[in-house]
Amino acid sequence: MRLILSVFASLTFLLSLSAPASAQIELSFYGGSQSSPHSRVSGQYPGTEANYSGLIGWEGKSFAPPPYYGARATWWRRPDLGFGVELTHTKVYAPAAERNAIGFTDLEFTDGHNIITFNITKRWNSRFGSFTPYVGAGLGVALPHVDVISSNGHTSFGYQLTGPAARLTAGIKYDLSDRWALFSEYQFTYSSNTAKLPSGGTLNTDIITNAINVGVSFSF
């Protein structure tokens, strides 16, 4: 996980250097409940030339270690428009019966299925008192920890850059003070993933997540 946090910290630092002196910087940290609908997993089975395919009903297990969480940095270049970077540590587990059916004893992205995006955010200030509605969208990459064991003994255990990713967010923030705020939001992420498995194996799947987040923001 240190690698993922280092990537996020580096992107945050680089973007902060490009922000004008007058820009407000907002750091947000959140947790919540995340789920993922069914998606098809396919590819070439490790150690053979055989292909496999199956529908997986992913489990999120948001509060099981390591928990689901996220962080973002937003530079408000105008009072209503901001740009930034965001990391979400999502998770997906394949149920035992479904992964066994396609020849895997373990099939998960749980440390995690990390989504890193560059975002644009629109907010509506001073219209609802201490409450500020906002929406956002982002494009980036998926950098999951691929944790896969095939029934014939091949193991993949490590981070891989697996493909493009996108996110949509809609939420509302409540100001506690000029600097501190609480927020709640709905967040959708999508990623198209191609992972490498040992001995010529591959794994292809599109992952969607739906999350309800709650968190805290600090502005300066």
Range from 20-24, 88-92, 126-130 carrying the lowest mean pLDDT: 20-24
Is residue 73 within 8 Å of residue 84, measured between CB atoms? yes
Range from 6-15, 116-125, 136-145, 208-217 carrying the lowest mean pLDDT: 6-15
Q: What is the largest CA-CA distance in the chain?
A: 62
Q: Which CATH class is domain 2-219?
A: mainly beta
- Read off the pLDDT of residues 36-57 as tens digits, 9 standing for 90 and up: 999 999 999 999 999 999 999 9
> What Cα–Cα distance (Å) separates residue 97 from each residue in 51, 101, 103?
19, 6, 10
Which backbone phi and psi does 66 adopt, to 5 degrees? Answer: -75, 135
Two tokens, residue 70: 């996220």
Alpha carbon distance 37, 51 (integer Å): 23
**Does residue 1 have a pLDDT over 90?**
no
Two tokens, residue 14: 């680089």
What contacts 199, CB < 8 A, 6 or more positions away?
A: 46, 47, 154
Higher pLDDT, 5 or 155: 155
Strand 163-175 to 180-197 pairing: antiparallel
Domain chopping of the chain, boundaries: 2-219
**Does residue 76 have a pLDDT over 90?**
yes
Q: Which of 85, 101, 88, 110 shows the shortest CA–CA distance to 187?
A: 88
Q: Which of 155, 220, 202 shows the shortest CA–CA distance to 42?
A: 202
The model's pTM: 0.87
Identify the H or E element spanning 135.
strand 131-142
Two tokens, residue 187: 């967040």
Res 22: pLDDT: 53
What contacts 105, CB < 8 A, 6 or more positions away?
A: 99, 149, 150, 151
Q: Which of 202, 5, 198, 1 shows the shortest CA–CA distance to 110?
A: 1
Res 5: pLDDT: 57
Two tokens, residue 93: 């587990």
How much is the average pLDDT of 75-83? 95
> What Cα–Cα distance (Å) separates residue 120 from each residue in 86, 141, 153?
10, 16, 44
Two tokens, residue 111: 């440390």
Res 7: pLDDT: 57
As a whole number, the mean pLDDT across the chain is 92
**Does residue 21 have a pLDDT over 80?**
no
